[in-house]
Structures are given as C-alpha cells and as structure tokens.
Amino acid sequence: MEAVRASAAWVASRSSHVTVDLQEIEKVVDKIQGNVPKVEWDFEGIHYFDNGPLTVQYLFVLDALNFCFWPDKDLSYDHLASGLKLALEKDKTALDADRLKNYTGPELRHLLNWPRPLPIEEERVRLLHEVGLELERSFGGQAANLVKSAGNSAATLIELITRHFPGFRDHSLYKGHQVFLYKRAQIFVADLWGAFKGQNYGEFHDINSITIFADYIVPAVLRELGILKYGSNLSCSIDSNCEIVPGSEEEVEIRACSIYAVEKMRDLISKKFGKQLLSIDIDLWLWSCGVQNMALSHHRTLSIYY
C-alpha cells in the first residue's frame, strides 16, 4: 500500500510529538540479527477456520468489529474472535448477510456472549449493517466473492474494501495533508493470508505491499523498545491514561510513525542481512510481545478504525 507508506513517511518527517529513533532501530535489528521470531497466525487458537468461504465471512465480520476494546477493562480481541467462532459453530448462518444487516446491540452482545454493552456499541452495530447490506448488494452476500473479485491482489482488495465499505476508510488529515492508515482493511488481507497459508482465498501476489496495522499495542511495544520517542506532554497523557483525541496531531503521529518505523526496520534488515521480511511478520511479532505484556501503557482513543 504505497499510499499508506508515503503518507506515513510524510507525517514522520514533520512530526512534533513523536520521533522515530533510527539508532534504536539499528540496535534492535542487530540484536535479533535480522531474524524476526516467527509467530503463527492464530497462535492462541481463538479463530474459526473451515478452509472455505465461511472462514472468509467470519474474518471479514471479525475485522469489521476489530476496534476499541480498552474502555472495557475485561474485553479484548480474544473475546471478539472466540465469541464469533463459537457463534458460528452453533449456527452456520449467524454471519449471513441478511442477518448482519438486522442485528441489534443486545443481539450482538448475545452473539458474542458478552454480558454488558460493548464499547461504541452503536458503531459496531452500524458497521455490521453496512457489511451485510453491501455484501448483499454487490457481492451476492459473500465476503468470499469480494476476495475473488480482487484477482489475488492485496492492494486491489484493500481498494475494493475501502470503496464499498465506508467504515473501513481509515483516513486522517494531518497539517492539511491526507493520511491513509487502513488498519482494518489491511489486517483482513493479513488474516486471509495467515489463515489460508498463502493459498486459496489467502493467495496474494503482492502480499509484501501490506504495511503493519497501526493500533494501540504495536506503538506501545515500539515505545518500550526505544524506537518511538514521545514528547513529555504526550508521554504524560498516555502514562496517565488520558484520552487522545481522534484525528489529533498526536494520534496521527503515533500511528503513522509506527508504520514508518517498521518500514525502516524492514529496509535495514534487507540492507544488513539480505532478508526480505514481510511487514505482516514484524507486526505479528510486535503484537504478540504486546499482548504478553499488557502492563505496557498505550494511547487511548475512541475510534472505529483500531
């Protein structure tokens, strides 16, 4: 996704609250000798997989809802992934398009077996409706048809998703410049690639075009590694659990600089060790480090994009 890479680099070159420390990137790259520990997709065993189109439907719904867990201290991505998995195992029609477009908040909670209102629940319901309506209107109700229409191109699939499903249009304005981040659209491609092991619905000839998925956890890990440096005011806000306004300079810089930092890491690994790593592999490694150290302070933004 060249638009994501280019706009992230543009932000990083003008950032005033977040700095990417290139020396620390080199230290990390040298420490791991260019070998990012391999983390398997679904290493926790929480996802639905049947090697067919229902898995694609599951992943698309999962990634439509994959945002903003932190306001509920007990809720996590694991609950979402495993909740949808159990719902499908009980009822294979649970994620059919005609049902997605009619779910209510209480019905979504029941689907996930969650006992209380979800964070930004009304937005989650709205996005379910959007997914159901557009899948039914343009893709015969099947996310698998959406994937097939991309012709095995990750970039084309992301373009299709962001054209047809406004809830995936993860854009920001930064100093008058449009910034593209596309966390959930890109992670859907990565989930397909990981689940199907690069075959069938997960076969993409340009999988190396995908960047990392700028969320809460990866920036926190990059900060812990010393790669991201925050200004004193931003550090204080994050460490005090203050909310960061969506679309603010601070929020855009955190996410864009995370993407830029990992791109620089990829470039350095290639230059020093001759290894061509995927951003997906680096993201999985960083994310797994973060979920194993939930004491890390992360920025808190109420957003439907991550």
The answer to whether residues 24 and 14 touch, using CB atoms and an 8 Å cutoff, is no
Question: Which one is catalytic: 63, 170, 191, 215?
Answer: 215
DSSP string, 27-89: HHHHHTTT-PPP--TTTTS-S---SSHHHHHHHHHHHHS----TTSTT--HHHHHHHHHHHHH
> Of 280, 301, 220, 259, which Cα lies nearest the Cα of 15?
259
How far is residue 157's CA from residue 16's CA, in Å, rounded to a whole number?
34
How far is residue 158's CA from residue 146's CA, in Å, rounded to a whole number?
10
The answer to whether residues 181 and 170 touch, using CB atoms and an 8 Å cutoff, is yes
Q: How far is CA 61 from the centre of its chain?
A: 13
- Dig out the tokens for 160 from the structure: 């299709």
Q: Spell out the residues 6+ positions from residue 81 whose beta carbon is closer than 8 angstroms to its own.
A: 46, 47, 62
How far is residue 206's CA from residue 218's CA, in Å, rounded to a whole number?
23
96 has catalytic annotation:
no
The answer to whether residues 203 and 152 touch, using CB atoms and an 8 Å cutoff, is yes
Please give the positions annotated as active site.
Answer: 215
